[in-house]
Amino acid sequence: MTFDQWIDQVNAGVKARLGTQVRTEELGSDSAMWAGPNGTAVASVADDETTARLWIDGQAREEFSFRNRQPEVVGDRIAQQLSSR
């Protein structure tokens, strides 16, 4: 699975949980941003094209191989962070 495909699945999970409460924006072929009622999240892929980075409200939260992380799990984490506080 490519990062683009993976991020599309992450986005589907975020949208399923938050619906119209979240706005998604592709920042390029290597990153996407979600803006929700309580913050923003950005997922991007590193130059090695296997490592993904997750930023929430401008702070690095996680770095992981996106090929080894289920997109549904990441989508749920993003949705939870953007809807709580």
How far apart are alpha carbons 19 and 31 in whole angstroms?
20
Q: Where are the domains of the chain?
A: 3-83
pTM: 0.88
Reply yes or no on domain 3-83 having CATH 1.25.40: no
Separation of alpha carbons 83 and 79, rounded Å = 6
Q: What is the pLDDT of residues 52-70, one digit of tens each?
A: 999 999 888 889 999 888 9
Q: What pLDDT is attached to residue 55?
A: 92
Phi-psi region of 6 (alpha: psi -120 to 50; beta: other; left: phi over 0): alpha
Please report the pLDDT score of residue 53 as a whole number. 94
Give the chain's mean pLDDT: 91
Query: What is the mean predicted confidence (pLDDT) over 25-38?
Result: 90
| Predicted confidence (pLDDT) at residue 41 exceeds the cutoff of 80 | yes
